[in-house]
Structure 1
């Protein structure tokens, strides 16, 4: 059986997502009532923070709940649950929940906890769901809480349970596969079975009426990401909801529709189109072959869900997206390039085709070098810095005042051409073609003695980041895909290569002087025995570092992956992300860990140099 891992309390945890099912599946499942509310995760660590499904901090909107959760007898914890409103009969009701947040009157909200992800330094996510839930039940029952409750498992035939739920007028049930761990993705271990057809829709417009709003016009995203019309919602609104909606809708009016195709309305219907940013939940009888809802009834607004992710829910298993068509023919796709896993050239090409949306913006106009392995990773490998001797179709070249022309990979077609020519790794400069003489970042590559435990790498990375922070520099992390961590410090291009390299070397010498038993500022295997060499040599003109999202030409085909600082302590190594599992991570991310890196404006100042003893 899996054991809990000891670690610091994570700063962020993305929720496990629920798949739609039409009936109870075979096997052993744990069933709960589907609560008609908003998903909310509670982080308890000195202070309580309440996070929405998409990672927004709503603690200030629910001060009473936060205050109650702070009385739990824990040092640290993460709880997954649902915030709801109960009516006089004690049943969940959805519309008043929106009104509670709009008015700021949230003291009556109830928080039902249904999973415990972390407790007192122990990461519980690998434990079976039954164990996690039992620990949560004991935690809540041993505290005096008025508005925090445990969502009980209902040990009855799910078909009988559904019938009782239907009679009570509730939404449905949630099933969790017995023995399953907690994963921040939609993997089929959690399912929902609804009594009625209910679905979130994007609000794309409304019809005007004497009362202000006659109906809402709704839409869904199709498989191509286009917004398509899904019909009108005319019923289910109370006077309070209409009053709250009017100013919100008017503020979002636009002259033309955001829909792919504009629907036709009967003469006299006054339509106002909206920016497609609001989401509402609707109950309906069916969706017609043309994609329109029938007998739609408004249930409430969903401010906890982003409009960009709203499409028709399906009970069929999710399939991975088709790789982007690149118009590049991959020859010998069946050739095994990694005998340890049996992974082929075709699978490598599929990875790069799919990861392009993440990788290409970071490579744009940045000179690259390639590690090519025509006979696979166990054969001879070539480090190619330019196209001299082997031109690669679709890869741009840039002539430099000195040296041979640089290669640029700015398009998916160029990326796939590199793969076709047996490239596995992609390495990038620390400058772009805007000004190749002035770097826009420097990188510190933490290269450990292979005999050191991974915990030393975690501690070393934290120490280096603290030094950078004390200097006043923001840093970003990525795994190397091998044994180390890369610390990336973005810069506004100002200093030349010599100045930046000198500064990065001074940081390394400073750290090695502070803790000589842990760090080395000198390269070479003999100098890092029992220590970690902080490699600053990559900050020279023409030097490169493996690019973010690049595959490594090593057994397992690991990927160099951007990570949050807070994630580091949870990783088991720098090679844990591979082309076989990386999209489970990327598809579950609420936010890109490097989202703000391109817009981070900072320079090396005279005060920073003075602190490091640079004249």
Structure 2
């Protein structure tokens, strides 16, 4: 265990057989703003500290402190650096929040800023809440509860005035929020205790705030007409997903003399003749506007968003140095984090007949995409926006294959794996290094990406069985049960249960979802040990085993003539670059049914593979108290020699 050898810690984490290469930078995991806490589930809650996010890298005694955007601030916090050097570890990555505490022990953001302004940072305290790396072992795939159990042990001997473990609380989250607001804290953070660490924003981590509060771009200011100096208000903006800057209101700043002089100097250097806002405010009789290049960031709290997209009753808190203006967007709000629904804070009209959802302009919103149901493009966008946070965990960093229907599902359909000419709003391209000698693969990691896909008339979303950056080893195997259309539905129910029984017998836990068409998909999560070739060969052997054992029911040979009166177990979904329709994806078929995860004990209640429409899918998810795929993310299993032998493989 390197320089840490505590016996209790050793039980939490065994030393790796071969240490991994520690990354130079790690992008932090970010929380999604929600309106209310989850009704159930495995959640852990901590105080939301009002400070600067800070990640600490320790390697052979060398300590580096990085902001959330990867800026090295080590030299600005010598006290914290010295405290971190006391860690008796060979290597570690810690995640935490740097704060300054007031006389009552509460975080004081203004005092933190003043500490940096005065270059007097000796009172900055680091609250550590996560351990991402430890002595050669990458912990990010481990559940939060395991990472924090080890962190608690590691912190035990080094906690002091400047380094503190961020405690979690077992109380009801509603009571925690009420208490936090009562003592004037910013709020609380909720984290799924069974989830891995995922860089970027997701609903595995949620924010429950006492007030709405976020960063804004300062792209101008006003002053009294004729005045030569002074600032009456800052003109605030947020970036839309198409890169345009939206005017979002104004706020009166409260700056010290030193801060005012600093702002004046920056404003003079950023001055420009015309506003960058696409919806700049109209001139006023008693004040004049001065426009700035979008570089300054302000943090503002406010009561709510107005229908026109401006803040109501804003309160200025600070100018921020640790966040770039280019990253400032309007924070979406999750209306029901227990079910995972994330919606934009509003949907509002856009220019020239468009609609804005999550800052993305939806063109031709009323175009009908399915003649049978009369669903429009806007209803498709709204569905993917509403279902996003249920769907996103199963899409995170998975390469996509997309089915587009620009003229509706009755027109020509297009299959797409790469950006081609048009960039899709919110959708990211993976580095070519993760899949060399191919065009960059696409991933959808945010709700904005799903809205962007629907805006581009993507109806079906298919995904790989591998997750970047390790695309050499699949993390699941899928059996697609494809029936002869003449078979009764009862035959499908029987077939799905038979496959489950076989998988249970050989020791593999499985999960089931409707295909959104005529059958079921049976999903088996795997730890990433086997190659694509090994997994595909195993899946073929399972299909052939089923066909041997129950030949009157199953076929393992592709082609309609081979499945007459039978169900083809499609194992071909398990090759590298093959894909399967994703959980919660719409299908480009009349009625626009959805591929819906279900629990095994619900199986006999399912009436067809296309039972759930978009509206029924959202309603179902909102009504659920338990996840039908409970335990999916905690499942750790691989394909063993005994399993191969059980299905007739020779090795």
Alignment CA distance shift 1:62-1:133 (3 Å): same
Corresponding position of 2:45: 31
Corresponding position of 2:54: 40
Q: Secondary structure at the match of 1:86?
A: coil
In 1, are the aligned partners of 2:37 and 2:173 still within 8 Å (CA)?
A: yes
Corresponding position of 2:475: none
In 2, are the aligned partners of 1:324 and 1:354 still within 8 Å (CA)?
A: no
2-structure distance, mates of 1:278, 1:182: 31
Provide Cα deviations, 1:298-329, integer angstroms capped at 9, x if missing partner. 1112222121221111124569999999xxxx
How far residue 179 of structure 1 moved from its aligned partner, in angstroms, is 1.3
Q: Secondary structure at the match of 1:346?
A: strand
Among 196, 201, 214, which residue is 2:232 paired with? 214
Alignment CA distance shift 1:207-1:128 (3 Å): same
Provide Cα deviations, 1:80-126, integer angstroms capped at 9, x if missing partner. 00111111111111122223223322121111100001111111112
Among 71, 74, 84, which residue is 1:59 paired with? 74
Corresponding position of 1:91: 106
Among 168, 180, 187, which residue is 1:165 paired with? 180
In 1, are the aligned partners of 2:400 and 2:417 still within 8 Å (CA)?
A: no
In 1, are the aligned partners of 2:272 and 2:293 still within 8 Å (CA)?
A: yes
Corresponding position of 1:287: 305
1-structure distance, mates of 2:438, 2:260: 59
2-structure distance, mates of 1:176, 1:242: 39
Corresponding position of 1:352: 418
How far residue 263 of structure 1 moved from its aligned partner, in angstroms, is 0.9
Among 254, 258, 266, which residue is 1:248 paired with? 266
How far residue 238 of structure 1 moved from its aligned partner, in angstroms, is 4.3
Alignment CA distance shift 1:370-1:278 (3 Å): closer
Alignment CA distance shift 1:76-1:22 (3 Å): same
Q: Does 1:265 align with 2:283?
A: yes
1-structure distance, mates of 2:177, 2:399: 46
2-structure distance, mates of 1:2, 1:110: 28
2-structure distance, mates of 1:181, 1:302: 30
How far residue 355 of structure 1 moved from its aligned partner, in angstroms, is 9.2
In 2, are the aligned partners of 1:85 and 1:93 still within 8 Å (CA)?
A: yes
The correspondence of residues 136-155 of structure 1 with structure 2, limited to 5 A, is 136-143=151-158, 145-155=160-170
Provide Cα deviations, 1:115-160, integer angstroms capped at 9, x if missing partner. 0011111111122211211221222221253211111001111111
Corresponding position of 1:275: 293
Q: Secondary structure at the match of 2:213?
A: strand
2-structure distance, mates of 1:323, 1:282: 26
Task: Compute the RMSD of aligned alpha carbons.
Answer: 3.7
Among 30, 46, 69, which residue is 1:17 paired with? 30
How far residue 32 of structure 1 moved from its aligned partner, in angstroms, is 0.4
In 2, are the aligned partners of 1:236 and 1:297 still within 8 Å (CA)?
A: no
Q: Secondary structure at the match of 2:169?
A: coil
Q: Secondary structure at the match of 2:164?
A: strand
In 1, are the aligned partners of 2:31 and 2:201 still within 8 Å (CA)?
A: yes
Provide Cα deviations, 1:185-208, integer angstroms capped at 9, x if missing partner. 323111111110112111111123
2-structure distance, mates of 1:70, 1:206: 44
1-structure distance, mates of 2:196, 2:13: 9
How far residue 61 of structure 1 moved from its aligned partner, in angstroms, is 1.2
Among 557, 560, 565, which residue is 2:577 paired with? 557
Q: Secondary structure at the match of 2:175?
A: helix
Alignment CA distance shift 1:187-1:118 (3 Å): same
How far residue 248 of structure 1 moved from its aligned partner, in angstroms, is 2.0
Q: Does 1:73 align with 2:88?
A: yes
Among 244, 253, 259, which residue is 1:226 paired with? 244
Corresponding position of 1:296: 314
How far residue 223 of structure 1 moved from its aligned partner, in angstroms, is 3.6
Alignment CA distance shift 1:280-1:343 (3 Å): closer
2-structure distance, mates of 1:219, 1:138: 44
Among 101, 118, 121, which residue is 1:103 paired with? 118
In 2, are the aligned partners of 1:482 and 1:558 still within 8 Å (CA)?
A: no
Provide Cα deviations, 1:370-405, integer angstroms capped at 9, x if missing partner. 99xxxxxxxxxxxxxxxxxxxxxxxxxxxxxxxxxx
2-structure distance, mates of 1:156, 1:274: 47
TM-score under structure 1 length normalisation:
0.53
Among 172, 175, 197, which residue is 2:212 paired with? 197
The correspondence of residues 298-447 of structure 1 with structure 2, limited to 5 A, is 298-316=316-334, 317=341, 346=403, 349-353=415-419
Corresponding position of 1:596: none
Alignment CA distance shift 1:249-1:142 (3 Å): same
Q: Secondary structure at the match of 1:188?
A: strand
Q: Secondary structure at the match of 2:30?
A: coil
Provide Cα deviations, 1:565-599, integer angstroms capped at 9, x if missing partner. xxxxxxxxxxxxxxxxxxxxxxxxxxxxxxxxxxx
Ranges in structure 1 where 5+ consecutive residues have no aligned partner: 326-340, 363-368, 372-415, 417-447, 449-480, 484-552, 560-615
1-structure distance, mates of 2:328, 2:84: 32
Alignment CA distance shift 1:259-1:321 (3 Å): closer
In 2, are the aligned partners of 1:99 and 1:241 still within 8 Å (CA)?
A: no
Q: Secondary structure at the match of 2:111?
A: helix
2-structure distance, mates of 1:106, 1:81: 17
Q: Secondary structure at the match of 2:92?
A: strand
1-structure distance, mates of 2:241, 2:269: 29
In 2, are the aligned partners of 1:204 and 1:258 still within 8 Å (CA)?
A: yes
In 2, are the aligned partners of 1:50 and 1:57 still within 8 Å (CA)?
A: yes
